[in-house]
């Protein structure tokens, strides 16, 4: 069966510091991968998605970036965090179909 992992589970970072969140999927090949942010009272916002290694599509312009160095690895990064980057970050995968499956999430607090 397929499993999706995210780490770290929680993170507290100062404003201006860099960020790296990692997502990995097991049990499937060539998944489509997604990064969402869930800010308080704002629902889920799609940030990036990837249909293959090195292929990244950005949905919302911001100071975040994403990379996919391996087939089942998706990384969310920032060079300098802002207060507004605080939130719950969710990674998801799909088998190229309509259904997405979500990871456990990373709670990011920027102080």
**Which part of the chain contacts other proteins (CB under 8 A), choosing from 11-19, 45-53, 64-72, 73-81?**
45-53
Which residues are CB-neighbours of 101 under 8 A, at least 6 positions away? 2, 4, 92, 93, 94
Residue of 11, 13, 46, 58 that binds other proteins (CB under 8 A): 46
User: Should residue 95 be labelled a site residue for other proteins when binding is judged by CB under 8 A?
Assistant: no
User: Should residue 90 be labelled a site residue for other proteins when binding is judged by CB under 8 A?
Assistant: yes
| Residues of span 20-39 touching other proteins by CB under 8 A | 32
**67-105: buried (b, 16+ CB within 10 Å) or exposed (e) per residue?**
bbeeebebbbebeebeeebbbebbbbbbeeeeebbebeb
Give contact residues for other proteins (rule: CB under 8 A).
Answer: 6, 32, 43-44, 46, 49, 51, 57, 88, 90, 92, 94, 96-105, 107
């Amino acid at each position: 069966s397929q499993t999706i992992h995210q780490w770290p589970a929680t993170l507290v970072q100062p404003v201006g510091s860099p960020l790296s969140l990692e997502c990995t999927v097991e049990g499937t090949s060539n998944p489509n991968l997604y990064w969402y942010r869930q800010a308080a009272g704002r629902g889920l916002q799609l940030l990036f998605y990837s249909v293959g290694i090195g292929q990244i599509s950005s949905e919302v312009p911001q100071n975040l970036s994403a990379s996919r160095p391996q087939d089942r690895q998706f990384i969310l990064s920032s060079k300098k965090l802002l207060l507004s980057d605080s939130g719950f970050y969710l990674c998801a995968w799909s088998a190229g179909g309509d259904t997405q499956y979500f990871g456990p999430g990373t709670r990011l607090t920027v102080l």
